[in-house]
Amino acid sequence: MPGLFNIDSAFNYVVVRKITEGGMGMVYEAEQLGSEGFVKRVALKVIREKFASQKLFLQNFIGEAKLVADLIHTNIVQTYHLGESRGTYFIAMELINGVNLEQFASQLNSKRKVLSPKLAVFITSRIVRGLAYAHAKCDRDGRRLGIVHRDVSFKNVMVAFEGDVKLTDFGIAKAKGFLTDQEGEVVAGKADYMSPEQANFQVTDERSDIFSVGVVLSHLLVGQNVFKGVTTDESIKRVLEMPIPDFRTLNSEIDSRLNDILHKALSRKIEDRYEKADQLLYDLEHYIYHEGYGPTNETLGKYIRELFGQGDFSETDASRGGTIAITK
């Protein structure tokens, strides 16, 4: 089909449509064909030709695929296959029937809806579950890989219409032996979601991702990213210098406990921040479940289907296609 990624038939993938594209690549929906009429819908992430010729970019694209292939967790978009067709590399990934948080927030805004604090905390807790798993991941010899995602943001969190929340795009992650790291020389990531140390050319660890998660949670709760400026430089300045607000003044439904969680996650002093994602996860889940029953995947699924006019989830809904985030 014209305008679609042309892939060798030997791979048994049939490209159906383009889902999205960014400055560095495209994502397509494809069908993986097997024996006896077997069909599996997948997403194919393909790098643009001009970047494929850049050795470092290509190495990191391949490194991302190898790294994420072994990250098997319900809150991380799964990678199935790395391939090369006619000189173009692609990654076959789990196809998510849903939207990313940027699209989710835009729909909330267009319908003048406000997300409840407990649902915002639930979404964030699923992101943190995925991060806790990635941060603790070891190689085959039991050595910690030292994974730091470094790009936790609205565009890189998917919410499926079934209610699953999944972290994606480890393209600029740190991990020993997988991706070439230029930390201290260049700043990678989205400025308004960066930790202060990331924005200040310093070495990062898992606490950097925790700060970014704090930005995501505050954004969900108050309907805006308080660190986002008009320019990248202004966003970085806000991350480094702007007083962290009392979030209770921005949303009256935020109580003192939740405000304290936000301030600990967003502490500029790294030693005052949550040390481990597991610690933040405990506080988030205690917040929504300590009184008993709280939000579930089913709760979120019902909410997002109603928000996007999907109705009750069915085979018909599932066949409408999906989307997946890609770095712009």
- The pair of three-digit structure tokens given for residue 266, joined into one six-digit string: 């967003």
Q: Work out the mean pLDDT of the chain and round it to a whole number.
A: 87
Largest CA distance in the chain: 61
User: What's residue 181's pLDDT?
Assistant: 57
The 8-class DSSP code of residue 85 comes to E
Class of domain 9-96: alpha beta
Alpha helices in the chain (DSSP H): 49-52, 55-69, 101-110, 117-135, 196-199, 206-222, 232-241, 256-265, 277-289, 297-307, 315-318
Rounded-to-integer distance, Cα 300 and Cα 122, Å: 9
pTM for the model? 0.89
CB atoms within 10 A of CB 41: 16
Dihedral sign computed on CA atoms, order 301, 302, 307, 312: positive
- What is the total residue count of the chain? 328
- Which residues, in sequence order, are bridge partners of residue 28? 18, 44
Q: How confident is the model at residue 29 (pLDDT cuts 50, 70, 90)?
A: very high
Q: Is 151 a catalytic residue?
A: yes
pLDDT at 194 over 70: yes
Residue 286: pLDDT band (50, 70, 90) is very high
Q: What is the pLDDT of residue 180?
A: 56
Which of 141, 151, 192, 260 is flagged as catalytic? 151
Q: Domain extents for the chain?
A: 9-96, 98-307
**CATH number of this structure's domain 98-307:** 1.10.510.10
